[in-house]
Amino acid sequence: MNDLKTLLADWFDLHEVSSFVMGWSGRVLAALAIFLVGRIIARALSNGLRRGMQRVGPDETLSGFFGNLAYTALLVFVILTAISALGVPTTNFLAILGAAGLAVGLALKDSLSNFSSGVMLVMFRPFKVGDQIDAAGTGGVVDTIGIFNVTLKTPDNRVITVPNSLVYSGTITNYNAETQRRIDLIVPIGYDADIPQAKAVITAITAAEARIQRMPAPEVVVQDVLPAAVTLAVRAWVATENYGAVRSDLLERIKRSLDKYNLSVPREQRTLPPPFQTASK
């Protein structure tokens, strides 16, 4: 037993082991403190940049994008500083990262594509935060435009995350790009209905709606003559924010008025065959 203790004492210098453990413990604690405090500072600086940009003039789209970009860059700097506190030479670490850059780039090509597409979305600005859009086969109100993806909120409060590359490479429909939108309704009336009377009834409804723009003036025209009905096209311009409400109100009022004057399309009458009767024996 004494021989084993002597052998271990020859192999391990307790003073050096304790110094090594204490030294690394201090480095690990310092690196952890640098990372935690640095992350808080990075978040505070990026939020300050976002608020400062909003005061100067850029909207939430630009300020949010550059705020996220600044936070990512600061966080990378904090991580490198924490690694340096551990005693790892950052020059060698950066050299390793540079050598592995090609492999990382190939592995993260989708992320890099999303990043570059995000930059293009911010530069060309086909939409901004708060706009209602259709893109990449889905739709909703733009909540955030991030570095790698766009977040949409649907009317039923679902959150949809779409990669930037899919948004930028596809067709984008922005319903809030202009201050005015045109309501287009197709209204069928009976084939034998009085067309001038139907047009006058609908014109009176559009004239009574204060939310409809007077210029360009609303119009009611015959669109098509079908075998069982005549269709009228109703066109009216409204402010973009009133589009949904005015369209719904017009449909309801037009339906009630046409029914009142017997101008609507008659409902199809279906005669059912008589019930099957078994022959009496």
Q: Where are the domains of the chain?
A: 13-99, 127-174, 180-260
pLDDT higher than 80, residue 212: yes
pLDDT higher than 80, residue 59: no
Q: What is the CATH number of domain 127-174?
A: 2.30.30.60
Q: Which residue has the higher pLDDT, 82 or 169?
A: 169
H helical segments located in 187-276? 195-208, 243-260
Give mean pLDDT, residues 227-239: 94
Q: Three-state SS for 264?
A: coil
pLDDT at 175: 95
Give mean pLDDT, residues 101-127: 75
pLDDT at 187: 95
pLDDT higher than 60, residue 15: no
Instruction: Choose the CATH number for 13-99 among 3.40.630.40, 2.60.40.10, 1.10.287.1260, 1.10.10.10.
Output: 1.10.287.1260
DSSP 8-state symbol, 150 = E
* 139-191 pLDDT, tens digit each: 999 999 888 899 999 999 999 999 999 999 999 999 999 999 999 999 999 98
Confidence of residue 36 (pLDDT cuts 50, 70, 90): confident
Tokens of 167: 């948004």
pLDDT higher than 80, residue 118: yes
Alpha-carbon gap, residue 72 to 69, rounded angstroms: 5
Give mean pLDDT, residues 36-65: 76
CATH 3.40.50.720 fits 180-260, yes or no: no
pLDDT at 195: 95
pLDDT at 281: 43
Alpha-carbon gap, residue 156 to 107, rounded angstroms: 36
Give mean pLDDT, residues 124-151: 92
Number of H helices, E strands in the chain: 9, 8
The CA-atom distances, in angstroms, between 188 and each of 106, 197, 260 are: 58, 14, 15
Least confident of 4-18, 53-67, 105-119, 251-265: 4-18
pLDDT higher than 50, residue 26: yes
Q: Model-level pTM greater than 0.85? A: no
CATH topology identical between 13-99 and 127-174: no
pLDDT higher than 60, residue 223: yes
Q: Three-state SS for 186?
A: strand
User: Exposed, middle or buried by CB within 10 Å (0-12, 13-18, 19+), for 206?
Assistant: buried
